[in-house]
Amino acid sequence: MHQELQLVPEMTVAENVFLGLENERWGVLAKDEAERLEALMRSSGFALDPGSVVADLPIAEQQKIEILRALARDARVIVMDEPTSSLSKDEVGQLHEAMRTLRDEGRTVIYVSHYLEDILAVTDRVTVLRDGVHVRTGPTSDETRGSLVSAMLGRGKTETPFPEKVPPVGRETILDVSELGNEAGVRGASLTVGKGEIVGLIGLVGSGRSEIARAIIGADPARTGDVMIDGRPYRRRTVAESARRGLVMVPEDRRRQGLVMTMRVRANITLPHLARIFRTGMIRSGKELSRTRELMEYFRVRPADPDGDVSRFSGGNQQKVLFGKWLAEKPGIVILDEPSRGVDVGARERIHQAIAELAAGGTAILVISSEISEVLGLAHRAYLIDRGRTVEEIDPEAHSEATVLSALFRHQAESDTDPGKGSAAGTRTGTGEDDRVQVTA
Amino acid sequence: MSWHGVQRFLQNYAVLILIVLLMVALSLLSDSFLTFRNLLNILNQNAPLAIMASAMTLVIIAGGFDLSVGAIFAMGAVSSAYIALHVDPFLGLFMAPIIGLGLGIINGFAITLLNVHSFLATIATSLIFRGVAIVLSNGRLIPVRMDDFTWLGRGKIGGVFIAVWIMAIFAVALSFALTRTTFGRRVFSVGGNEEAAILSGIRTHRIKIATFALAGLAAGLASAIAASRISLGQASAGTGMELQAIAAVILGGTSIYGGKGAVWRSLAGVFLLALINNGFNILNADPFYRDLTTGLIILAAIGISAGGARR
């Protein structure tokens, strides 16, 4: 079972369950799925109306269809990848009940989740993985939330040293965001970044880190909240206007969002700045080449060819080009989303150094990373993010990866039990029924 | 050159290689092929298609398709003949590209406002445009036997047809816009990676609208030349021309997925298609085989340039 449901929304429950397993006679469908489903439901204890159309059903019911689908194929092992991420509290309870039924029938259920409470509530044994490496497997009764968190941390891998932190050059706040909210999953983000300051955003997968960044620069429309740059309100945000005001974002996915792989390096570098660099509208190659060479030299991009085919560069060198692209016009505020994801150690070190140098030069920097150690190593201050809101401000010097992670899980559990907060924390379901709530206990 | 280099060269210049091969073959088979007169005639006859294919190149590089240029051509032909007859022949010729531009802008807005693929939107608008052309002409031919109308399609300047001059100027201008201006860069970025372009602050809707506007302008210009040449406006003009223009663009090696291509390639594509036609004429070959041969050559050219090129 996949995290995202893989059903055909226009078809009925029964048709979905037996998709690909239809009985036929000379190529003509027997249309006996409803009867077969009745039999299956009697034996498994799930109750659903075979004739309902999938699109009309709530997510929890759709999850059941996925389970029935596995049963129809007589699955002995059922893997559920984050099945609760769009379920309400009651629905999670129902799902857990179903999982126990499956277990009692002698089937194996593998439950992949980052909701520790769910894991502790329903599983018999638990395996902890970190960075694709097996950490340990043991009976769930031996585990607590704390023991799982520390297992997920493990010993830090051989980490390249981070550049020394230079105290911010000034005191004035450059970027001031308050109570930002939108339909993409941002539900109250408030933060400030000062001149020459590096500020981190830390959150679990799916906590809305990138969505907050997109809302700030205007890539997604915001519903509520304000953004101020240099003390002046900045409404009607668009990516183009943000870039004009010196507010830029280096996106997390360089292939999909960052670089135009069909264009040469120099065309990628100048793409966001065309109107400012070439005021007449004519491309002047000399100007473009010198800009590109300068940045490629600074980042030590290899091959150092401004006319190079960027799609043939290594991940690290692509990332340097992507970073360089946004520095070409000396922005005042830079948001870095996963600045070193999927790059080699050398490129990572160079990128970290560039971040530190940029801040030392007075640029305000907001850095987002799924690697907690990276944020702690780079940032002067950091915010913890849970379900699209900033929940705590921390001092990286006073924290370790372990204390941050347990704080994150503490916030997750707190908003789970607090009905007021929990009701606002609906996760995206893909069906447009955004009132569904992620509450687990 | 390494084997890999040879392969890339073939993929890049498949259309030119085919043109050279065809020209050599036709020169050997017929004395009348390789004459200034014949080559100039080929260019002249295909000037309207070449103008449309040049602009279609920009649409396709930006990741779109315009299936309505044939219908815009019909609108241009009918309205220029109508205006020529009822108002003024010069104004008629002048208005065709303007009307084409307007219809192209309508296409652009239909695509970006409705947020639908240009393929679908332009199928619909092409029916609308041709429908209007039929209503406007009452389904009849509109003959315009006036020298003030026919000079554009038939006249010569410096021994070369005016149509060929217009085609050359138009293609050079578009080529310049595409390769030397910030507008061209934006066109490439929209087709190469729309999301990255949006996140780079490019107003991708405007760029798309501009490419469709240019395609409309080109179709109007082409229709003025064609209507003037045959001194006739009719609502069935330009039928199937959108497919010829797209075929020429793809044949030239411009990527159907967007992000890559050049105007000269489309001109080469038009020329290759024209050579096949011309070959049938001067060799007196059975015209029943014309479509078959054209199809096979298009397939061969696409096969060569696609061979392992895309990842």
With a cut of 50, say whether residue A432 has pLDDT above it: no
Amino acid at B244: Q
Mutate to test the interface with A, among B182, B189, B255 (most CBs of A within 10 A): B182
Taking the CA of residue A190 and the nearest CA in chain B, the distance in Å comes to 23
**Which residue in A305, A307, A127, A326 sits closest to A239, CA to CA?**
A326
The band of A159, judged by pLDDT with boundaries at 50, 70 and 90, is low
pTM of structure: 0.83
Is the pLDDT reported for residue B193 higher than 80? yes
Q: Give the pLDDT of residue B215.
A: 98
- Strand ranges, E, within A19-87: 24-25, 28-29, 77-81
* Interface residue B159 vs chain A (CB under 8 A): no
In the three-class reduction of DSSP (H, G, I as helix; E, B as strand; rest coil), residue A272 is classed as helix
Pairing of strands A381-386, A198-203: parallel
**pLDDT band at residue A101 under the 50/70/90 scheme:** confident
Quick check: A259 contacting B, CB < 8 Å?
yes
A204-216 in b/e form (b: 16+ CB < 10 A) is: bebbbbbbbbbbb
CA of A230 vs chain B CAs: smallest distance (Å):
21
Q: Does B12 touch chain A (CB under 8 A)?
A: no
Mean pLDDT of all residues in chain A?
84
Domain ranges of chain B: 16-24+33-304
pLDDT value for A186: 92
Is pLDDT above 80 for A43?
Answer: no
A219 touching chain B per CB within 8 A: yes
Neighbours of A362 (CB within 10 A): 16
Minimum mean pLDDT range among A139-148, A211-220, A233-242, B212-221: A139-148
Predicted local distance difference test score (pLDDT) of residue A115: 79
* SS3 state at A226: strand
Long-range contacts of A219-224 (CB under 8 A, 24+ apart): A219/A249, A219/B198, A219/B199, A220/A182, A220/A183, A220/A184, A220/A186, A221/A182, A221/A183, A222/A180, A222/A181, A222/A182, A222/A186, A223/A181, A223/A182, A223/A183, A224/A179, A224/A180, A224/A181, A224/A182
For chain B, what is the radius of gyration of the CA atoms?
20
pLDDT at B307: 62
Going by their DSSP bridges, the two strands A198-203 and A364-368 should be labelled as parallel
Whether A118 has a pLDDT exceeding 60, the answer reads yes
- Say if CB A250 and CB A367 are below 8 A apart: no
Q: Do B185 and A256 touch (CB under 8 A)?
A: no
Give me the helix-helix angle, B182-192 and B36-61, nearest 10°. Answer: 60
Residue, of A135 and A189, whose pLDDT is higher = A189
Q: Tokens standing for A138?
A: 């043991």
Give residues 161 to 180 of B whose Cβ lies within 8 Å of A: 180
Residues forming a β-bridge with A199: A366, A381
Residues of B in contact with A259 (CB under 8 A): 193, 196
**Cβ-based contacts under 8 A for chains A and B:** 79
The distance of A16 to chain B (nearest Cα, Å) reads 29
B310 near A CB under 8 A: no
Interchain contact, B201 vs A258, CB within 8 Å: no
Tell me how far apart the alpha carbons of residues B217 and B99 are, in angstroms, rounded to a whole number. 8
Task: Report the pLDDT value the prediction gives residue B194, as an integer from 0 to 100.
Answer: 96
Q: Does A256 touch chain B (CB under 8 A)?
A: yes
State the smallest CA–CA distance between residue B304 and chain A in angstroms. 20
Beta strands in A102-197 (DSSP E): 108-112, 125-130, 133-139, 173-181, 187-194
Establish whether the linkage from the previous residue to A161 is cis, with ω within 30° of 0. Answer: no
Task: Enter the tokens of residue A362.
Answer: 């007075």
Interchain pair A238, B202: CB under 8 A: no
Q: How far is B118 from chain A (nearest CA, A)?
A: 21
Determine the Cα–Cα distance for residues B246 and B122; give it in Å rounded to an integer: 13
Residue type, A406: S
Q: Is B8 on the interface with A (CB under 8 A)?
A: no
B4 touches chain A (CB under 8 A): no
Whether the predicted pLDDT of A423 surpasses 50:
no
Spacing of C-alpha A211 from chain mean position: 8
Residue A297 CB neighbour total at 10 angstroms: 11
Is A178 touching B (CB cutoff 8 A)? no
For the segment A205-220, the average pLDDT, to the nearest whole number, is 91
Per-residue pLDDT, B248: 95
Q: Is A243 on the interface with B (CB under 8 A)?
A: yes
**Which of A248, A273, A274 is most worth mutating to test chain B (most B CB atoms within 10 A of its CB)?**
A274
Rounded CA gap, B66 and B106, in Å? 12
- The rounded distance, in Å, linking the Cα atoms of B311 and B305 is 13
Mean pLDDT calculated for residue range A99-105: 86
CA distance B76 to chain A (A): 31
Query: How is residue A267 written in tokens?
Result: 């065309």
Mutation site for B-interface testing, chosen from A271, A288, A292, A312 by largest number of B Cβ within 10 Å = A271
> In this predicted complex, what is the ipTM?
0.90
Residues A307/A263, Cβ–Cβ less than 8 Å:
no
Quote the pLDDT of residue A154: 62
Q: For residue A161, how far is the Cα from the chain centroid?
A: 26
CA distance, residue A271 to nearest chain B CA (Å): 7
The sign one gets for the Cα dihedral B108, B114, B120, B122 is: negative
pLDDT at B304: 74
CA distance A37 to A47: 10
Average confidence (pLDDT) over A51-80:
81
Domains of chain A: 13-153 (3.40.50.300), 173-414 (3.40.50.300)
Least confident span in B2-16, B22-36, B67-81, B240-254: B2-16
Question: Three-state DSSP class for A179?
Answer: strand
Quick one: tokens of B133?
């052309």
List C-alpha distances in Å: A221 to A195, A216, A236, A257, B131: 26, 9, 9, 17, 40
* Residue A126: per-residue pLDDT: 92
Q: pLDDT at residue A435 above 60?
A: no
The rounded mean pLDDT for chain B is 93
What is the pLDDT, as a whole number, of residue A21? 79
Read off the DSSP letter of residue A166. P
pLDDT at B58 over 60: yes
Considering only the beta carbons, identify the residue of A243, A258, A278 that sits closest to B201: A243
| Chain B interface disruption, residue of A220, A242, A260, most B CBs within 10 A | A260
A353 — contact with chain B (CB < 8 Å)?
A: no
Partnered with residue A254 across adjacent β-strands are none
Tell me which residue in B181, B193, B203 faces A283 most closely, judged by beta carbons. Answer: B181
CATH class of B16-24+33-304: mainly alpha
**Residue A62: what residue type?**
Q
Q: Which residues of B touch A275 (CB under 8 A)?
A: 182
Kindly state the percentage of chain A with pLDDT values over 70. 90
Q: What share of chain A is helix, strand, coil (3-state, %, to 5)?
A: 40, 20, 40
The string of DSSP codes covering A334-350 is EEEESTTTT--HHHHHH
- Whether the CB of B61 is below 8 Å from some CB of chain A: the reply is no
pLDDT of residue A344: 84
- Rounded percentage of chain B residues whose pLDDT exceeds 90: 77
pLDDT digits (tens, 9 = 90+) for A253-308: 999 999 999 999 999 999 999 999 999 999 999 999 999 999 999 999 989 999 99
Of A241, A257, A282, the CB nearest to B199: A257
With contacts defined as CB-CB under 8 Å, which chain B residues touch A336? none
B138: number of Cβ within 10 Å? 9
A318 touches chain B (CB under 8 A): no
Assigned token pair, A308 = 């190079």
Look at residue A429 in the predicted model and tell me its pLDDT.
Answer: 34
- Of the two residues B253 and B225, the one the predictor is more confident about is B225
Give A-chain residues touching B255 at CB under 8 angstroms. Answer: 262
Model confidence at A114, pLDDT cuts 50, 70, 90, reads confident
Is A261 in Cβ contact with B192 (below 8 Å)?
yes
pLDDT at A431: 34
Chain A residues inside the 8 Å CB shell of B199:
219, 239, 249, 251, 257-258
Write out the H or E segment, with its range, that includes residue B295. helix B290-306
Could you tell me the CA-to-CA distances from B193 to B63, B196, B265 in Å, in that order?
Answer: 9, 5, 22
SS (H, E, C) B173-231: HHHHHHHHEHHHHHHHHHHHCHHHHHHCCCCHHHHHHHHHHHHHHHHHHHHHHHHHHHC
Contact B199 A270 (CB under 8 A): no
For an interface test with A, give the residue of B200, B205, B255 to mutate (most A CBs within 10 A): B200
Query: Which range among A78-92, A192-206, A329-343 shows the weakest confidence by mean pLDDT?
Result: A78-92
pLDDT band at A1 (very low <50, low <70, confident <90, very high): low
* Facing residue for A282 by CB, picked from B181, B199, B260: B181
Q: Collect all residues with Cβ–Cβ distance below 8 Å to A378 and sequence separation of at least 6.
A: A162, A163, A165, A198, A200, A352, A355, A356, A367
Tens digit of each residue's pLDDT (9 = 90 or more) over A362-382: 999 999 998 888 999 999 999
- Contact list, A276 vs chain B (CB under 8 Å): none
Task: Give the range among A429-433, B4-8, B232-236, B270-274 with minimum mean pLDDT.
Answer: A429-433
Query: Of the given ranges (A44-48, A146-150, B289-293), which has the lowest mean pLDDT?
Result: A44-48
Please state the rounded mean pLDDT for residues A107-123.
86
| A428 confidence band (pLDDT: 50, 70, 90) | very low
Helix extents (H) in A300-394: 315-327, 345-360, 372-378
Please give the pLDDT value at position A16. 84
Measure the CA–CA gap between A132 and A123, rounded to whole angstroms. Answer: 21
A283 touching chain B per CB within 8 A: yes
pLDDT of A417 reads 56
- Per-residue pLDDT band for B149 (boundaries 50, 70, 90) equals very high
Which of A237, A262, A325 is the best residue to mutate to test the B interface, defined by the most B CB atoms within 10 Å of its own CB? A262
CA torsion B74-B77-B80-B81 (nearest 10°) is: -120
Q: Which residues of A touch B254 (CB under 8 A)?
A: none
For A326, the closest chain B residue by CA position comes to: B200
Locus of tokens 């050059």 = A169
pLDDT average, residue stretch B301-308: 69
* Residue B189 contacts A where some CB pair is shorter than 8 Å: yes
Distance CA A191, CA A333 (A): 13
